[in-house]
Amino acid sequence: AIAAAAGLGAATADGLYALLAVLAGSRIVEVLEPIAPLLRIFAVVVLVTIAVRGFVVALLYARIGVPGRSELPADPGRTYIRFLAITLLNPTTVLYFTSLILGRPEFGRGQAEGAAFVLGAVFASTSWQLLLAAVGALLHRRLPWRLQFAVSLLGNLTILVFAAFIARSI
């Protein structure tokens, strides 16, 4: 339930950004352009904070012998809100959806096309996020704690690499 709530939070943000991209289109780029460096700095700070917290939690669990414990809050509602917020704070998400609309100017002009785009984005994101949640829940119970620890470190390292790529563009 926790992993599904996390995935649904991310999928909700994807759906909101898809809707925003269809409704606002090129105006989003115009609004974000002047504050893009500030948004990137904020994104880097948030991502580094998440990664460092993830490293600390993984190392603590390894050190005190609490393997396999999730670092996510135990409440699905809080988890949903957390992942909704994390995804909404990612400026790359809104720019991704806007670039899709801008790349095909004839697409999304009509109401039916715009609605189909938003519904398709929500369906695709929800499907992908729930698949990841199911696989994660299945493997979480079966993987040795050392492998879970390694995966946690790798995941947080990936977040740091993503932050570094964003920082390079500042």
CA distances from 42 to 33, 113, 120, 128, 170 (A): 15, 33, 29, 27, 11
Supply the pTM of this predicted model.
0.65
Total domains present in the chain: 1
* pLDDT higher than threshold 70 for residue 91: no
Read off the pLDDT of residues 98-154 as tens digits, 9 standing for 90 and up. Answer: 666 666 655 556 788 889 988 999 999 999 999 998 988 888 778 888 888 898 899
Helix (H) / strand (E) element for 112: namely helix 111-142
Give the pLDDT of residue 154. 95
CB 21 within 8 A of CB 101: yes
The residue written with tokens 């991704």 in the block is: 96
143 Cβ contact list (under 8 Å, min separation 6): 151
For the stretch 46-89, pLDDT in tens is 889 889 998 998 898 888 865 444 554 578 999 899 899 988 88
Query: Whole domain around residue 26: which residue ranges?
Result: 2-168
Whole-angstrom Cα distance, residue 57 to residue 6?
18
